[in-house]
């Protein structure tokens, strides 16, 4: 099974594509660019959803649901946003099929069922939501609106890859409305921080918090905050964005409120989202040549127990001990699976759970029964040890926490060792080519330079880090003056 | 607030439409036939989702996600299903907008971005899922597949009503594949039972379990099991369906497996779903002229506490007592809200929470502080009583359970008193016209008779009840012989 997996050093991209399919996370569908998220992959996404949803509610947000379709006239109301998404949207033009008179048993679009106005399948929901907010906001007392939606969206991407870029994907999109600019900015920053805590604390993925340059900003936003992660191949991945929308959508959809003095003002907005793309980040942050490596927080199966036996009697004896362990682990809400299938050999099972990234594997054989021990294998380090059955439950529970921390630290070490400061364009290209990762460089602040660098190296400015310090310098490309470093990288 | 609500006796339909909007459950959107589910309504739907999801997992199902779009050729593969949905589907024909040369600032569909094959926005997912299952099933060891999906679907209905019939709605759809016919039938029946337990035990909505006639059967199914509820106006509402698909989709998508003897066989299938339509059933089963009545299981706020005070000092004293009560109730996972807004009078708040269906309202004034009491009002019965603060927590907790049970029994009494056996067509029409509800009548078993009765009375056969007994009789319309009664009703 895992022996068939291309290794990362052979071909990282192929390794990723194979792993996603072989580990049963997702597969391509019969619909161009759309994926099927398989039960094992979806179980991981559900854990991410549950944790994010908890964090959103904890910060005062409520869920709601808005239409899938956006009428064209509504879609184009905020011009920058419309322009940003116009080239990649799925458009509904008809509402009925009829029998094809020329092809018995086949259907055709009924030309008499053309919509008066075309409907865009939402690529993002600012337009439909702000057109709704107009009816919800009259006075400052109606603000803030703190709303999130879990939904599917469609962007007609030409080149797609499972999780990383698909025509349809699942996400959450927060859309908030505020009485003041500062409150909206605070909200945008708060949600960037929620995402960062989620990525680091729950997914064990270290991220850099920053703001996007104008070129990379969300269409229709005044400022885009982001969290940027680094994959094992040295390429960056945008893991979440939070936008301060200014009054752009309020003006486009005429959303005003009476302030405390009774004066009409436009509302200030934010929007923020993370998507199933995070599944790709998860795979490419932790996994190895044997398969997935899942942080315990995200593992549908946290502990798997495999009996090692030759006879049915041995299996029966092992099962008595294991069933006791299973029920003790379940009491601690540990997701444990006892795989007592007799149709497969232990070696086969070991490979399968390695491929699927189960954090802890426990093996029990007749020797272990005699000695009162279990063999415990860690997926992340591929190490084994023999542990006495006394205190095994506390040991396993502690080990799960330890693995979660170790995975984060390992990824953090990798990330930190792949932020390289450069002071010349030769150095810049050299690091990009031979080492990868984030290149920290001075930049003159112009979109023109950003574009030239991208053309020459494929690297883009991933963000202007929020924790960056003021530092006088000269642009690595033009030599013009600069006051702070930004992070460049090739990116997914 | 509630005084503006049309009463049920004045106009039931208007009452429903107004209530859904005024209680902040949902509203119409700027997109034809599509609704916005507002936070309060969505919070109720989330509770329904959580409980259903738990029940699905408990019965061995896993969640997954399949594409929103179905290519036309895939859609039409199972002919009956395709025919059943062809007249009401949204069709994507293009994938790009461009600037309209004739209208500056406006966009138009780019004629150069026409899809080679049209995509149908899923009205249901049998086609896309069975085309996927083909790749998942080789041997009997791969079966059963027990999969559920939470998703949005689109059916281009011409006349829509919030929750009851909308162009886009949210639902779950289970799709299972089995090695044997009997196992698939067992699964269909099991899920009908899961739905019935959910409707009755969680939503306090009594249902009749039965099977549909051929006319009312799901397009592409061999048998449709259903649960039918009865609304307060005497009209029935189909609350959930579970379909035994036979081998229809397996044959259409060539899904075969090698049985234990190595022989190739077609797989047997089921599908089953409930939708946001259940929100409509919830409203129309329990609510009254003052607004929503929510069963405690579904109430986003189960207990609201309103202070009755004249001075700030009184409010401060009341708050000390209330905050203590709030924290005690929260320890029991009771969703409690303390509404200490000073911008609104108690009477205003009372109306608001009545409109929103909060099951228990507690009022506390200075007199209560002196006497060590609380005034407790039940939303369902609109009764009040004064309760000593000793043991108040257990009292409130017990009362929530009692309200849940009482609501079910009240709805059950209504439903049971509205199943009327008739033995002539005059009686049939009389009951339908003057009493409403289910009419239990003999029917000759033909679609022709079913249709004539529908044309004459608008009543359809809601189901052939599973608990019906064999009973010789004659069709109420044709006088032909019949062996059991079926339930007719006008329906949503």
B70 in any annotated domain: yes
Give every CB contact of residue A180 below 8 A, 6+ residues apart in sequence: A268
CA distance B361 to chain A (A): 23
Tell me whether residues B151 and A152 touch, CB distance under 8 A: yes
Last residue of a domain, one of B220, B254, B286: B286
Q: How far is B234 from chain A (nearest CA, A)?
A: 30
Q: Are A264 and A175 contained in the same domain?
A: yes
Looking at the fold, whether A343 and A242 belong to one and the same domain comes out as no
Q: CB B39 to CB A62 under 8 A?
A: yes
Q: Which of A27, A33, A47, A69 to mutate to test the interface with B (most CBs of B within 10 A)?
A: A69
* Å between B124 CA and nearest CA of chain A: 15
Rounded Cα gap, residues A473 and A485, in angstroms: 8
Same domain membership, residue B325 and residue B221: no
CA distance linking residue B195 with residue B272, whole number of Å: 9
Do A81 and A68 form a contact (C-beta atoms < 8 A)?
no
Q: Which of A31, A82, A141, A253 to mutate to test the interface with B (most CBs of B within 10 A)?
A: A31
Final residue in a domain of this structure, among B414, B438, B472: B414
Interchain proximity B68–A168, CB inside 8 Å: yes
Residue B482 and residue B338 share a domain: no
pLDDT tens digits, A340-392 = 999 999 999 999 999 999 999 999 999 999 999 999 999 999 999 999 999 99
Between chains, do B168 and A30 touch, taking CB under 8 Å as contact? Answer: no
Q: Give domain status of residue A104, yes or no.
A: yes
CA-derived radius of gyration, chain B = 26
Say if residue A107 is in the same domain as residue A223.
Answer: yes
Residue B47, domain member (yes or no) = yes
Query: Is the domain of B237 the same as that of B147?
Result: yes
- Two tokens at B161? 């009503």
Q: Closest partner residue to A68 among B74, B119, B168, by Cβ?
A: B168
Q: Assess whether B233 and B352 both reside in one domain.
A: no
Q: Could you tell me if residue A316 is left (phi over 0), alpha (psi between -120 and 50 degrees) or otherwise beta?
A: alpha
Q: How far is B268 from chain A (nearest CA, A)?
A: 20
**Environment class of residue A369 by beta-carbon count within 10 Å: exposed (0-12), middle (13-18) or buried (19+)?**
middle
Q: Which of A30, A67, A106 sits opposite B29 (nearest CB)?
A: A67
To the nearest whole number, what is the mean pLDDT of chain A?
Answer: 97
| Helix extents (H) in B67-180 | 72-75, 79-86, 126-136
Question: Is A414 a member of any domain?
Answer: no
**Interface A:B, Cβ pairs < 8 A:** 190
- A335 and A473 together in one domain: no
Print the domain residue range for A474.
419-489
Q: Kindly list the residues from chain A whose CB atom is less than 8 angstroms away from the CB atom of residue B71.
A: 30-31
CATH, residue A367: 3.40.50.800
Taking contacts as CB-CB distances below 8 angstroms, the residues of chain A near B90 are 69, 92, 94-95, 119
d(CA B343, CA B339): 11
In a shared domain, residues A119 and A204? yes
Query: Are residues A214 and A319 both part of a single domain?
Result: no
Tokens 């029990």, located at residue: A364
Convert the pLDDT of each residue in B245-272 to its tens digit: 999 999 999 999 999 999 999 999 999 9
Q: Do A95 and B107 touch (CB under 8 A)?
A: no
A82–B152 CB contact, under 8 Å: no
Is there a contact between B147 and A39 if contact means CB atoms under 8 Å apart?
Answer: yes
In a domain, A291, yes or no: no
Token reading at A441: 């460089």
Q: Using an 8 Å Cβ cutoff, are B165 and B154 in contact?
A: no
Query: What pLDDT is stored for residue B1 in this prediction?
Result: 44
pLDDT of residue A121: 98
> What are φ and ψ of residue B355, in 5° steps?
-60, -35
In this structure, the number of other CB atoms found within 10 A of the CB of residue B364 comes to 24
CATH number, domain at B57? 3.30.930.10
| Boundary-marking domain end, from A286, A320, A354 | A286
Residue B479 sits in a domain whose CATH number is 3.30.110.30
Residues of A in contact with B45 (CB under 8 A): 65
Task: Write the DSSP string, B383-438.
Answer: -EEEEESTTHHHHHHHHHHHHHHHHHHHHHHHHHTTEEE--SHHHHHHHHHHT-SE
Instruction: Measure CB to CB from residue A65 to each of B98, B107, B170 and give the nearest one.
Output: B170
Q: Which residues of A touch B343 (CB under 8 A)?
A: 141
**Helices A277-286 and A39-58, packing angle to 10 deg:** 110
Residues A306-324 have pLDDT tens digits of 999 999 999 999 999 999 9
Same domain for A262 and A129: yes
- Residue A314 domain-assigned (yes or no): yes
Mean pLDDT in residue range A282-289: 98
Residue A308 lies in a domain: yes
- Measured between beta carbons, the chain A residues lying within 8 angstroms of B170 are 65
pLDDT, residue A3, reads 57
**B291 is a domain residue:** no
Total tally of structural domains belonging to chain A: 3
The rounded average pLDDT for each run of 10 residues, N- to C-terminus, in chain B (492 residues) is 80 98 97 97 98 98 98 96 95 97 94 97 98 98 98 95 98 98 98 98 98 96 98 98 98 97 98 98 98 98 97 96 98 98 96 98 97 97 96 97 98 98 98 97 97 98 94 96 96 96
Per-residue model confidence (pLDDT) at position A90: 98
Which own/partner contact pairs does A257-260 have at CB distance under 8 Å and 24+ positions apart?
A257/A137, A257/A138, A257/A139, A257/A140, A257/A142, A257/A143, A257/A179, A258/A138, A258/A139, A258/A140, A259/A140, A259/A179, A260/A140
Q: Answer yes or no: do B106 and B254 share one domain.
A: yes
Direct distance between the N- and C-terminal alpha carbons of chain A, in angstroms, rounded to an integer: 28
CB A123 within 8 A of CB A154: yes
User: Residue B172 and residue B275: Cα distance in Å, rounded?
Assistant: 6
Among B384, B232, B377, residue whose Cα is nearest residue B305: B377
- The reported pLDDT for the residue numbered B2 is 44
């Amino acid at each position: 099974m895992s022996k068939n997996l291309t290794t990362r050093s052979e071909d990282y991209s192929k390794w990723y594509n194979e792993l996603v399919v072989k580990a049963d996370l997702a597969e391509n569908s019969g619909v161009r660019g759309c994926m099927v998220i398989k039960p094992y992959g979806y179980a991981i996404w559900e854990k991410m959803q549950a944790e994010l949803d908890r964090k959103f509610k904890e910060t005062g947000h409520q869920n709601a649901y808005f239409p899938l379709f956006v009428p064209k006239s509504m879609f184009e109301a905020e011009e920058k946003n419309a322009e940003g998404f116009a080239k990649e949207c799925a458009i509904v033009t008809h509402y009925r099929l009829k029998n094809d008179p020329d092809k018995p048993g086949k259907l055709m679009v009924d030309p008499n069922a053309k919509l008066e106005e075309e409907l865009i399948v939402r690529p993002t929901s600012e337009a439909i939501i702000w057109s709704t907010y107009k009816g919800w906001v009259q006075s400052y007392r109606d603000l803030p609106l703190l709303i999130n939606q879990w939904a599917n969206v469609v962007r007609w991407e030409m080149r797609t890859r499972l999780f990383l870029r698909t025509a349809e994907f699942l996400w959450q999109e927060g859309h908030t409305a505020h009485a003041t600019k500062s409150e909206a900015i605070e909200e945008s920053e708060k949600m960037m921080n929620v995402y960062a805590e989620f990525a680091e604390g729950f997914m064990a993925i270290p991220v850099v918090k920053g703001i996007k340059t104008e070129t990379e900003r969300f269409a229709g936003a005044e400022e885009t905050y982001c969290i940027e992660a680094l994959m094992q191949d040295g390429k960056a991945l945008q893991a979440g964005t939070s936008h301060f929308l200014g009054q752009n959508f309020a003006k486009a959809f005429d959303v005003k409120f009476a302030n405390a003095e009774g004066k009409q003002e436009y509302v200030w907005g934010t929007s923020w989202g993370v998507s199933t793309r995070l599944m790709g980040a998860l795979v490419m942050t932790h996994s190895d040549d044997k398969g997935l490596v899942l942080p315990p927080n995200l593992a549908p199966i946290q502990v798997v127990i495999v009996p090692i036996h030759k006879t049915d009697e041995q299996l029966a004896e092992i099962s008595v001990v294991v069933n006791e362990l299973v029920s003790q682990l379940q009491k601690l809400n540990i997701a444990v699976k006892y795989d007592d299938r007799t149709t497969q050999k232990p070696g086969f099972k070991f490979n399968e759970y390695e491929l699927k990234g189960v954090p802890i594997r426990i093996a029990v054989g007749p020797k272990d029964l005699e000695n009162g021990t279990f063999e415990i294998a860690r997926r992340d380090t591929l190490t084994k040890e023999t542990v006495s059955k006394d205190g095994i439950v506390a040991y396993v529970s502690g080990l799960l926490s330890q693995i979660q921390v170790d995975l984060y630290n390992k990824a953090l070490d990798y990330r930190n060792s792949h932020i390289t400061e450069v002071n010349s364009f030769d150095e810049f290209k050299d690091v990009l080519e031979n080492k990868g990762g984030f290149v920290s460089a001075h930049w003159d602040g112009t979109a023109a330079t950003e574009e030239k660098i991208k053309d020459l190296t494929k690297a883009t400015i991933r963000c202007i880090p929020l924790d960056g310090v003021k530092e006088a310098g000269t642009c690595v490309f033009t030599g013009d003056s600069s006051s702070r470093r930004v992070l460049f990288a090739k990116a997914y």
